[in-house]
Amino acid sequence: MPVEIKINGPQLALPRPEIDLISPMRSTAVSAGSYEVRFRVRSNLPLLRVELSANDQPVLRAAGLDNLPKNRAGQFEKELTQVVDLARGPNELKITAVSAGGGQVTPIILSYVNQPVRVMIDRIEPVAQPGESIAAQASQDHRLSFASPTPEGRAFLHGRVVWANEQDPRIDQPLGVRAWVNGFQQVAPETIPRAAAKLERPFKIPLLLSRDRGNRVELELSGLEQEADDRSYFSVDCQRPESQQRLHLLVVGVDLPAAAGSASKPAAPAVEDLLAAMKADKSGPSQFKTAAFSSGRVYGPLTGHVSPGQVITQLMRIRTALRIRGAQEFANDVVMVYYQGSEAMDAGGQSYLLTSASRFDKKLDRSAISNTQLEGLLGKSPGAHLVLLDVDRTAGPTQLAQGPGWPSESRIGLIRSSWLAGKATPHEARLVAGLMESLSGSHNLLEIKSRMADRYVQLEKKYPKSLNSTLHVPTPLQELVLLGSE
């Protein structure tokens, strides 16, 4: 009788589909918010499903797979194209092809990154000579210069913001340019209007040059990344600089009397002492002038019961006054805020200036003013800014390494003295005493910083672990003149 013989062996695997990438050929970075993906699928067996997904969301499912013709190699073949909208950052795309032989998945990463825009400087136009311009020229090392100095301190800067790609979604968004000259923020237009050339937006910014040589001009775009080697930093010389300055002085003394205090409770910040240190001549109840400032104004002083709203209101008054004045004339304004009171620091390192409301309301974001908030309010105002903090630490870490939570890259100067010992601050350790001594014989902010630093070295030896100081003077503000020559 016949014998049945069974032979067990490995079954032949059916071939899976093949996926060929046409565009892109591999994972890559793109600078547009959408991308046309092209790919080809080939299979020895009929295709059951072909899909494209982006970030786990289906964007394409191929139709008509039942009637696919075969190519010359005898394979079923399908080429597909799909425009995919991309989110900023990495986007994970997956192409899936399935046949009776199984499935094949090809992943792609498309990283959507905005290309930096360029700031192009074209020329400087003196105000007194409209139509007469000094063209900008770039050297081989990409540094910007001008063939000759401007004849006067008042001028208009003409330039352009240039995009690299018409599909950049930011190209139609509102755009502003901020400008600083020697640390003074200029009154630049809040938005730059669109132009006929889609990839460019021209701008015109008023500049006030206060030095005869090396006026440092800095430009910054609002919310847009700039190329690292663009020409947003440059220097300009000037034949007749505008050196006159105006000072806006806000004085705050939280829970301190306006008159002289007792031995146990110090007096509020003495406006008279500050003005005397700057050798000021009073011309009215709140008006004065010095050798460095053609005019000055005292805001406040805020003493006794002080709320956060009162401080913010005064800062807004100053900002409004500067914007109105800047719209009418070119100006070099200095805003100086002197605060005497207490500070507290939270667990995250954020520092707060306490107000009278902080005694009853322990939510500091409501009853106090954070340094971040203060820096933000001043940073939106024209002019140069200097904050003077004469404080004692009432809450939070008292380690000397704990700073005031002031941004290290801030353009706003900060001189701060913080008493950590928990008892009455000695007069010599108060900031006002150090300022009065350092202003005498100093010309600019850099010299004042140097004198204050020497003073704190001695004070910290005398009062170990009791005093913490901060001397943040940005480079453009180092030559800011606070005490002119008589």
CATH code at 118-236: 2.60.40
Could you tell me the pLDDT band of residue 260, with boundaries at 50, 70 and 90?
low
User: How many residues are recorded in the chain?
Assistant: 486
pLDDT digits (tens, 9 = 90+) for 159-168: 988 887 777 7
User: Residue 450 burial by CB count (10 A; 0-12/13-18/19+): exposed, middle or buried?
Assistant: middle
Give domain 18-112's CATH number out of 3.40.50.620, 3.90.1150.10, 2.60.40.420, 2.60.40.10.
2.60.40.10
Topology classification of domain 246-477: Rossmann fold (3.40.50)
Give the whole-number percent of the chain exceeding pLDDT 90: 30
Please name every residue paired with 19 in a beta bridge, in sequence order, or none if there are none.
41
pLDDT digits (tens, 9 = 90+) for 170-229: 777 778 888 999 999 988 776 787 776 778 888 999 999 999 999 999 888 876 655 544
Predicted TM-score (pTM) of this structure = 0.74
**118-236 and 246-477 share one fold:** no
Residue spans of the domains in the chain: they are: 18-112, 118-236, 246-477
Position 445 pLDDT exceeds 80: yes
Position 354 pLDDT exceeds 80: yes
Nearest to 157 by CA among 126, 190, 193: 126
pLDDT value of position 228: 45
Task: Look up tokens 């409770």; give the residue.
Answer: 265
